[in-house]
Amino acid sequence: MGIPEIPAEPDIRTVAAQLIGHLGPDLVAALAGSGEYSIATRWRTEDGREPDATEARRLRFAWAEWYLLAGAEGPDTARAWLAKANPWLGDDSPVTAIGQDRFREVASAAALKINYDFEA
């Protein structure tokens, strides 16, 4: 199966809003590495605080991985894959690994899922 094309990246508030729509605010705050779970809902509003540079980098990475996974496997599978423990990530979830800036590990694990349908 080929890798789906990622659409042009929107502004960071739209990235946050789309991720919240797919994953919910708690997972989005966690993958951004924020201990404040209510922060994610403020990121998507015009008058709310924007994510800082580190949070934005994590959100953009997660957004791109979401589109790859959802395009190849479907949104429900992508959501479950991001949230559950993954042996390729030392039994951390991809959400946790993204929040720790382990982008290469997550990208490799996602590629294994997409290209070889490894359940992990």
pLDDT at 1 over 50: no
8-state DSSP, 32: T
Look at residue 119 in the predicted model and tell me its pLDDT. 60
Look at residue 4 in the predicted model and tell me its pLDDT. 53
How many other C-beta atoms are found inside a 10 Å radius of the C-beta of residue 106? 26
d(CA 58, CA 94): 11
pLDDT tens per residue, range 29-64: 999 998 787 889 899 888 889 999 999 999 999 999
Instruction: Decide: 31 and 58 in contact? Cβ < 8 Å.
Output: yes
d(CA 59, CA 28): 8
8-state DSSP, 2: P
Look at residue 38 in the predicted model and tell me its pLDDT. 84
Residues forming beta bridges with residue 92, ordered by sequence position: 86
Look at residue 55 in the predicted model and tell me its pLDDT. 95
Minimum mean pLDDT range among 10-14, 66-70, 89-93, 115-119: 115-119
